[in-house]
């Protein structure tokens, strides 16, 4: 039997007022307020933990995040964010597989790591803990403007970074059109273990097959002191409300960085005609990079319940990397306190012009920049994920998201002279990772 009383007591109220013939009666105020409710909760905490795990014994990471925001009302907000990041496992060092076992000296020269015959060489000697802190303050400017500025700093055992940013947004057209502009500067200092290697210099004592003794003088080829890099980002954006249920956003971002971009721990194999490694040299990257990115997003509220979010980014830079990214989310709010959100992301990038899977014997003396870092190679990737969120009676909420990320490499940057020899090896390191995030938000 359908319960007629389901939708509040409007029927009862109307009947009662009819009986009493009362004139317009103001809406009832809550007379039985519990004192606890009045106490405005000042701080809002947004916490999260990411567990990232690549297959094949590669990188594992755990990343807890704590963000605290204090809302002073009138669009005035102060927030702090702390991110910890513990990394373990191995990542490709750039060398190509070989038909015989290979040995590489670790960055500090103390340890060394090996790769079996036919195996993609992985540098498993790095363990890293990163701490990063940021603070941000946002306040209103005039009737329709908002200005925000922030500081960030992060520290790893071989990397130090500090930055500042500022951004301004202005509402036009009764808040339907919002133009925003932002500027950020970041200074990085890279102090590689054992000093930064001389670009394209020979990796010491790494003759394949022989085991090196420990007390080899390890700073051979290491450059003096730490390397630095400066990054300047500019972003301009437009958000336009199309109708009460949808909006579009367009961003253009320009990022210029100058200084040391090389990865001190990455090498390239110098191979002979048979594709077997003769020696290894440290990689070398240009000391400047300019990236342009155009981003567009469409967001729509559907069936008076769900939210669909589709975005596209096109990026190009002067390292000749071009990438396209499509990201789509569908949040199904199946009731007022729970939602499920499937996520699909597709990514594709071309290789940097100085990307080489390997160098042919002697080629290392003819190139100025070369890197075999798979992240600069050509590959496509997709991410598929599902997120569940729940809001509790108290207003606090938690969420859990499980995602799978798969990268498939394309065979590029192979020297013709050794193409036949190298064809017996798989040079494009595929990557697959599982990412699990949990989040919890509460007021205090």
Query: 126 to 155, contacts with another protein by CB under 8 A?
Result: 126, 128, 130, 132, 140, 143, 152, 154
Smaller CB separation from another protein, 158 or 361: 158
**What φ, ψ does residue 194 adopt, rounded to 5°?**
80, 15
Question: How is residue 67 written in tokens?
Answer: 């963000």
Query: Per rule CB under 8 A, is residue 292 in the interface with another protein?
Result: yes
Query: Per rule CB under 8 A, is residue 27 in the interface with another protein?
Result: yes
Q: CA-to-CA distance for 285 and 288, rounded, in angstroms?
A: 9
Q: How far is the CB of 186 from another protein (least distance, A)?
A: 7
Smaller CB separation from another protein, 155 or 424: 155
Smaller CB separation from another protein, 239 or 269: 239
Q: Which stretch binds another protein (CB under 8 A): 62-70, 109-117, 360-368, 422-430?
A: 62-70
Query: Per rule CB under 8 A, is residue 15 in the interface with another protein?
Result: yes
Smaller CB separation from another protein, 192 or 200: 192
Query: Per rule CB under 8 A, is residue 296 in the interface with another protein?
Result: yes
Query: Per rule CB under 8 A, is residue 235 in the interface with another protein?
Result: yes
Query: Per rule CB under 8 A, is residue 437 in the interface with another protein?
Result: yes
Residue 308: HSE in the Cβ half-sphere, 13 Å Cα cutoff: 9
Query: Per rule CB under 8 A, is residue 287 in the interface with another protein?
Result: no
Query: Per rule CB under 8 A, is residue 161 in the interface with another protein?
Result: yes
Q: Which stretch binds another protein (CB under 8 A): 12-20, 279-287, 357-365, 413-421?
A: 12-20
Q: Which residue from 258, 325, 328, 396 is in contact with another protein, where contact means CB under 8 A? A: 325
Query: Per rule CB under 8 A, is residue 408 in the interface with another protein?
Result: no
Distance in angstroms between the alpha carbons of the first and the last residue of the chain: 43
Q: How far is the CB of 421 from another protein (least distance, A)?
A: 28
Tokens 């940057």 belong to: 413
Q: Which residue from 206, 299, 359, 414 is in contact with another protein, where contact means CB under 8 A? A: 299
Query: Per rule CB under 8 A, is residue 53 in the interface with another protein?
Result: no
Q: How far is the CB of 121 from another protein (least distance, A)?
A: 14
Counting other chains too, the contacts that 385-388 makes at CB distance below 8 Å and 24 or more residues apart are 385/342, 385/343, 385/435, 386/340, 386/341, 386/342, 386/343, 387/340, 387/341, 387/342, 387/343, 388/338, 388/339, 388/340, 388/341
Q: Return the SS3 of 423.
A: coil
DSSP H or E segment with residue 420: helix 416-422
DSSP 75-94: T-EEEEEEEEEEEESBEE-S
Q: How far is the CB of 126 from another protein (least distance, A)?
A: 6
Q: Which stretch binds another protein (CB under 8 A): 20-28, 111-119, 194-202, 278-286?
A: 20-28
Smaller CB separation from another protein, 99 or 399: 399
Smaller CB separation from another protein, 41 or 424: 41
Q: Going residue by residue from 69 to 108, which x/- string records binding to another protein, judged by CB under 8 A?
A: ----xx------x-x-x-----x-----------------
Query: Per rule CB under 8 A, is residue 261 in the interface with another protein?
Result: no
The pairing of strands 43-54 and 91-92 is unpaired
Smaller CB separation from another protein, 253 or 284: 253
Q: CA-to-CA distance for 85 and 154, rounded, in angstroms?
A: 10
Q: Which residue from 231, 358, 422, 427 is in contact with another protein, where contact means CB under 8 A? A: 231
Smaller CB separation from another protein, 46 or 220: 46
Q: How far is the CB of 188 from another protein (least distance, A)?
A: 7
Q: CA-to-CA distance for 421 and 216, rounded, in angstroms?
A: 32
Binding to another protein (CB under 8 A): which residues in 194-223? Answer: none
Going by C-beta distance under 8 Å and a sequence separation of 6 or more, which residues neighbour residue 408? Answer: 379, 380, 381, 428, 430
In 282-302, which positions are buried (b, 16+ CB within 10 angstroms) versus exposed (e)?
bbbbbeebebebebebebebe
Q: Whose CA is closest to 327, among 350, 347, 341? A: 347
Q: Whose CA is closest to 371, among 318, 412, 431? A: 412
Q: Return the SS3 of 398.
A: strand
Query: Per rule CB under 8 A, is residue 11 in the interface with another protein?
Result: yes
Q: Which residue from 104, 260, 282, 339 is in contact with another protein, where contact means CB under 8 A? A: 339
Question: How is residue 248 written in tokens?
Answer: 């579009």
- CA-CA-CA-CA torsion sign (362, 367, 372, 374): negative
Task: Give the bridge partners for 401, in sequence order.
Answer: 387, 437
Tokens 């905490």 belong to: 45
Binding to another protein (CB under 8 A): which residues in 383-402? Answer: 399, 401
């Amino acid at each position: 039997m359908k319960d007629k009383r389901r939708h509040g007591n409007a029927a009862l109220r109307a009947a009662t007022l009819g009986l009493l013939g009362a004139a317009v009666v103001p809406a009832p105020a809550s007379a039985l307020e519990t004192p606890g409710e009045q106490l405005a909760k000042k701080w809002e905490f947004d916490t999260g933990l990411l567990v990232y795990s690549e297959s094949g014994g590669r990188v594992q990471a755990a990343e807890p995040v704590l963000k605290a925001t204090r809302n002073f009302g009138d669009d005035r907000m102060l927030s702090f964010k702390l991110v910890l990041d513990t990394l373990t496992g191995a990542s490709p060092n750039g060398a190509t597989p070989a038909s015989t076992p290979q040995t590489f000296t670790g960055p500090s020269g103390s340890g060394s790591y090996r790769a079996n015959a036919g195996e993609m060489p992985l540098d498993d000697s790095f363990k890293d803990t990163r701490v990063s802190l940021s603070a941000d303050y946002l306040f209103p400017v005039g009737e329709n403007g908002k200005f925000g500025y922030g500081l960030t700093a992060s520290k790893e055992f071989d990397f130090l970074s500090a930055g500042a940013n500022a951004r301004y947004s202005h509402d036009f057209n009764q808040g339907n059109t919002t133009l925003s502009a932002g500027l950020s500067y970041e200074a990085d200092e890279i102090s590689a273990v054992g000093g930064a290697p001389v670009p394209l210099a020979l990796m010491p004592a790494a003759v394949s097959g022989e085991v090196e003794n420990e007390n080899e003088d390890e700073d051979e080829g290491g450059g003096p002191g730490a390397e630095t890099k400066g990054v300047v980002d500019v972003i301009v954006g437009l958000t336009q409300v199309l109708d009460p249920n949808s909006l579009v956003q367009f961003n253009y971002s320009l990022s210029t960085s100058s200084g040391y971009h090389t990865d001190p721990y990455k090498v390239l194999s110098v191979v002979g005609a048979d594709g077997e490694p003769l020696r290894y040299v440290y990689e070398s990257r240009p000391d400047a990079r300019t990236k342009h990115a155009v981003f567009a997003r469409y967001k729509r509220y559907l069936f008076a319940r769900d939210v669909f979010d589709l975005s596209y980014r096109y990026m190009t830079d002067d390292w000749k990397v071009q990438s396209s990214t499509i990201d789509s989310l569908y949040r199904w709010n199946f009731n007022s306190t729970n939602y499920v959100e499937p996520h699909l992301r597709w990514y594709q990038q071309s290789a940097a012009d100085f990307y080489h899977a390997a160098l042919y014997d002697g080629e290392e003396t003819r190139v100025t920049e070369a890197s075999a870092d798979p992240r600069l190679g050509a590959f496509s990737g997709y991410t598929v994920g599902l997120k569940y969120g729940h809001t509790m009676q108290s207003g606090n909420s938690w969420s859990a998201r499980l995602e799978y990320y798969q990268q498939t490499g394309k065979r590029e940057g192979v020297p013709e002279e050794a193409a036949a020899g190298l064809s017996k090896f798989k040079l494009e390191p595929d990557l697959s990772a599982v990412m699990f995030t949990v989040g919890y938000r509460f007021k205090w």
